[in-house]
Amino acid sequence: MTFSVTILGSSSALPTSKRFPAAHVFNTHERLFLVDCGEGTQIQLRKYKLKLSRLERIFISHLHGDHVLGIFGLISTLNLLGRKAPLAIYAHQEFEPILNKNINFFIKNLQFAISFIPIEANQKKSILFEDQQIIVETFPLKHRIPCNGFIFREKEKTPNIKKHLIEKYCIPLSEIVRIKQGANFTLPTGKVIPNSELTYLSSSPRSYAYCSDTMFFSKLAEYVKNVDLLYHEATFGSEMASLAKQTGHSTASDAAKIASLAKVKKLVIGHFSSRYKDIDPLLTEAQQIFPNTSAATEGDIFKIEANRVKL
């Protein structure tokens, strides 16, 4: 089952001729979740053949234009395409009035419902969305204005029972459902076999964290601990560390330090300042601290394969 991230935009506030403003698409089982929506997102969605009809939810990290100005055109296009399914938008509360003003001005006869879910800019990690397949968590970042990161996690699946133990202990069918739900099994001798010994997960849940604009702070590593794929902004190289701090951004080293502290499996850096025509120095800087790093480029797809558990 798909669990992937497509990069639609890798630039910071000033787009270049090749790099679009911030937007990622998280794809889980062909359900699309848009993360940030910079200008031109709808054009990039089409370019990379992501079906607009599959778009289910939009998560906006913060209200700087380069992360959100594509949303009015995107909503207009969804309407022109005849969308009827509701669209959920998660953003800080201040966005709701300006969103509604632009929709009322630019879109006549909106044919689908938009549900606006405010993100609270508090200092806790919390759950924004949850269903049978996925959990979306949010956590605070440190930027010039309230800014939140997101983690998309697969839900834990029902465990399987080890086949050879079914035979060994002659476990009846009636007990299997209970064991899958977490029960232990008692042998006719009275000996209890603990659930953990009887069951296993066929794959461990996958996770993707999106750390939009933020300066370095070590607690961030706790928020994104052990994720499979960490996207972290790296607007600058370490030669611009003081400007990074001043503007509430990170260097490539900062991003790599978080990846390393959090023990993530893979790091992707992005949100590059337009001053870097060549981003190889940023990539090299990050890889010196965290080797398994890639630099985001428009159209890149990062697939996270299921983590099969070996018995």
| Alpha helices (runs of H) in the chain, residue ranges in sequence order | 41-47, 71-80, 95-106, 163-169, 173-180, 195-198, 219-223, 241-247, 252-262, 280-289
Taking CB under 8 A as the criterion, the residue among 7, 27, 35, 40 binding a second copy is 40
CB neighbour burial string for 3-31, b if at least 16 within 10 angstroms, e if fewer: bbbbbbbbbbbebeeebbbbbbbbbbeee
Q: Does 275 bind a second copy (CB under 8 A)?
A: no
Distance in Å, CB of 49 to a second copy, minimum: 8
Q: Does 29 bind a second copy (CB under 8 A)?
A: no
Distance CA 81, CA 89 (A): 19
Q: Does 13 bind a second copy (CB under 8 A)?
A: yes
Distance in Å, CB of 246 to a second copy, minimum: 15
Distance in Å, CB of 77 to a second copy, minimum: 6
Task: Say whether 278 is catalytic.
Answer: no
Q: Does 76 bind a second copy (CB under 8 A)?
A: yes
Distance in Å, CB of 276 to a second copy, minimum: 15
Taking CB under 8 A as the criterion, the residue among 30, 105, 123, 167 binding a second copy is 105
The phi, psi pair for 152, rounded to 5°, reads -105, 120
Task: Identify which of 221, 232, 67, 213 has the alpha carbon closest to the alpha carbon of residue 148.
Answer: 213
Q: Which stretch binds a second copy (CB under 8 A): 46-54, 150-158, 193-201, 254-262?
A: 46-54
Q: Does 301 bind a second copy (CB under 8 A)?
A: no
Distances (CA, A) of 72 to 45, 89, 105, 143, 272: 15, 12, 10, 24, 24
| CB neighbourhood size of 156 (10 A) | 11
Q: Are 69 and 41 in contact (CB under 8 A)?
A: no
From the candidates 36, 66, 213, 228, give the one annotated as an active-site residue: 66
Residue 83: both structure tokens together = 């969308």
Taking CB under 8 A as the criterion, the residue among 54, 56, 96, 102 binding a second copy is 102
Q: Are 305 and 266 in contact (CB under 8 A)?
A: no
Taking CB under 8 A as the criterion, the residue among 106, 186, 275, 292 binding a second copy is 106
Distance in Å, CB of 45 to a second copy, minimum: 9
Residue (21 or 140) nearer to a second copy, CB:
21
Angle between helices 95-106 and 71-80 (to 10 degrees): 40
Q: Can you tell me which residue has the tokens 């000996």?
A: 191
Taking CB under 8 A as the criterion, the residue among 7, 10, 22, 66 binding a second copy is 66
Distance in Å, CB of 57 to a second copy, minimum: 21
Taking CB under 8 A as the criterion, the residue among 54, 63, 117, 201 binding a second copy is 63
Distance CA 306, CA 1 (A): 8
Q: Does 298 bind a second copy (CB under 8 A)?
A: no
Q: Which stretch binds a second copy (CB under 8 A): 39-47, 133-141, 211-219, 232-240?
A: 39-47
Residue (69 or 135) nearer to a second copy, CB:
69
Cα dihedral 27, 33, 37, 43, rounded to 10, equals 50
Q: DSSP letter at 240?
A: G
Q: Which residues bind a second copy (CB under 8 A)?
A: 13-17, 20-21, 39-40, 42-43, 46-47, 49, 63-66, 69-70, 72-73, 76-77, 80-81, 98, 101-102, 105-107
Write out the catalytic residue numbers: 66
